[in-house]
Every structure is written in C-alpha cells, then in structure tokens.
Structure 1
C-alpha cells in the first residue's frame, strides 16, 4: 500500500473518471504536445489519490494509448495528469546484433520511479517522444542503472537495467520531473522522422549523422 496516509482526492478521481469516459470504448487518451504546462511541471508523488478501480482503468487506458501511438513508454503528464505514474513495454526486435542492446521489457507500471547510474558508461542513440511528434534526436544516457519504483499495489521494486530498457526507464522517469528528452539532446542531431528514415536509420549508431550534422557522440 502507499503508506499509512492514503491521500484520496475526490476531485482528481472525478476528473480522471471523466477523462476515461471521454476516451470511449477504445480507451485511447489524447497525448499532449510540447507547450502544455503539465509537461514542464514536477509530477506529484502518487500516494493513493485515486480509487483502486479508477487507477486500474487509467493504467489500462495509458497502455492502450501507448501501444496505439505506437510507443514504448507513456507518463501520466503526457495525458495531462501531473502524477508520478508511467507505463513501459518493449519487445525484442529481429536484429540480434542491434547495438542499442534492445531486450525484452514486459509491461510494467512504474509509480514514483527513480534511477541511479551504475558506473560511468553512457550510450548515444536517436530517440523520440510521443509529446514531440514527428522528430527524433540523439540523447546520451546511462548504459546501466539501478531502477526503483512502486507497482499499482504500492509494492516497492528495485532492479538493475541495461541498454535500451534502461533508456526507456530513464526517459519516462525524466518526464515526471518536467524534463523532456530534447532538453539534453544533441540539438544539431534533431531530425524529422522522414529524414531520419531516409538518411540515418540504416545504422543505429549515429556516427555518420554526427559527422554530417555537426555534433559529437
């Protein structure tokens, strides 16, 4: 459980229920885009503000919205809610030699997440964001982290993450502190999805992109 002092918020619960009702049978929530204040605000720690039924419906809708986008993570601020809640999920691609070290990441609800780097090794790859549609940029991130979070029942978890799953966890956790990946990206690497596909997608390591666009990795 989320501590002894459960902070149920009737007004917030009603707001979320209204959002879910508007989402319809498909349970797809609108994803807010850059410029929305909620994306730049510190999310409130989740302490049980929602009824369990409402929380479960919200998490189900967030997962449906993430998969439909499609994406591999979605934070509550991205659907307009300033709560420290996110969902993540990704699956192994066909290319076993992918240098991004993509690994199976089963669906997870991460509540009040945080992370700490393990060692000093980093990796730089293109990544995007559902709240900045149509663009991607190279972002340097920790290669290995210790990830901590609570699940929907309030149970605490702590796990070592490596490679692409670690990148996803960092990306979504950063959203909850008002940070968007572009804040610390190599800004000269910024590419439209179309140009990324045409010029740089053939090699996940952005070496040639760095040379041609004038940034370092």
Structure 2
C-alpha cells in the first residue's frame, strides 16, 4: 500500500465482490494493509473500515466506535482489527438508525441492523478471538462485515425515503 491509497467509491467493482479469507498471517502486504486501513480510517473520521474499500479482497475489517464529526454520539471503544470475522445474532431486534460510508460520501440513510451480536474473528497474529457487541459498535461491525460480502449499506435500506443528503442529516441531528 502506498501513501496515495484512496478509498474506493460506490460503483467500483471491488466493492461488489466477496472478499477472500486470510490464510497467511505472516505476509508483509497483509500487515501493511492493516496499517494503511487504520491510518485512512482515522484521517477520514471513520468509525470502521473494510479491506475491500481499499481494493483489497481480504476479509479484514476494523471496528473503532468513537465520537467523531461524522458520528458525534458514538460510544468510545478501542479500534479492533478483525480478520476472517463471522457472527451470531444475540438479539433479533432490528433497530433502524443513521449510517454513512466513506465509500458513499454525501449520503446518509436509516438502516435496520441487529442490536446485539457475538463476534468471532482472528487478530492480526492469527489468534482466535471473540467479543460481544451491541448498539452502535454492533452496527459498525455489521456495516463493515457487509463490505466483505460485496454489499454497501444502501443495499439494506427498506425504502428510498430513508436516504438523505448528508447536509440534511446534519440539520436533523442538530435539531
């Protein structure tokens, strides 16, 4: 990865492909990609990012819920790199809330997501890990996990009326 790495935008073919499992945890490119994902996510005020957003077809996501300009009400949690993640639903309740995406700038939408999950993944050293996520961090995980399946959050919207311009979104949350 170079310093000129950019986040792919909606319409890029790589965003619509299923990502491959990571099998080589010693690969230099793998660790460089994780570092690049982290820095781009932070620079972009993101609360999560997935490898396909940088054109890398690997099952790697970072979940990093924290208050930002884009998500001022987000809860604080340290960034977690998740490789080859999967999950079980702990709470079948679907909660609609606002989402945006670094690959879909300028738009926000109300997206239904499960409230609580049990997540299993490998860390960057290949060690099996588990955690439970709920509310906003669970939402971020599901959003990033979708990228590994070739989906974007707009694919989950129930009606086009739930999609708004980001300028309108900021008016709504300021009210």
What TM-score, normalized to structure 1?
0.73
Match of 1:176 in 2: 148
| In 2, Cα distance between equivalents of 1:167 and 1:106 | 16
Match of 1:5 in 2: none
Gaps of 5+ in 2: none
- SS across alignment from 1:118: strand
| In 2, Cα distance between equivalents of 1:70 and 1:105 | 14
Match of 1:146 in 2: 118
- SS across alignment from 1:121: strand
- Quick check: 1:91 aligned with 2:66? yes
Q: 1:70 aligns with which of 36, 45, 57?
A: 45
Task: Name the structure, 1 or 2, with higher relative contact order (CA <8 Å, separation 6+).
Answer: 2
Q: How many residues align?
A: 170
Match of 1:30 in 2: 6
Structure 1 outlier segments of 4+, above 3 Å: none
- SS across alignment from 1:90: coil
Alpha-carbon deviation of 1:57? 2.1
- Quick check: 1:42 aligned with 2:18? yes
Alpha-carbon deviation of 1:166? 0.6
Match of 2:85 in 1: 113
Closer, same or farther: CA 32–92 of 1 in aligned 2, 3 Å = closer
| In 1, Cα distance between equivalents of 2:124 and 2:49 | 15
More strand as a share of residues: 2
C-alpha contact 1:103 1:164 (8 A) present in aligned 2: yes
Alpha-carbon deviation of 1:90? 2.1
Q: 1:195 aligns with which of 145, 152, 168?
A: 168
| In 1, Cα distance between equivalents of 2:116 and 2:138 | 6
Alpha-carbon deviation of 1:49? 7.2
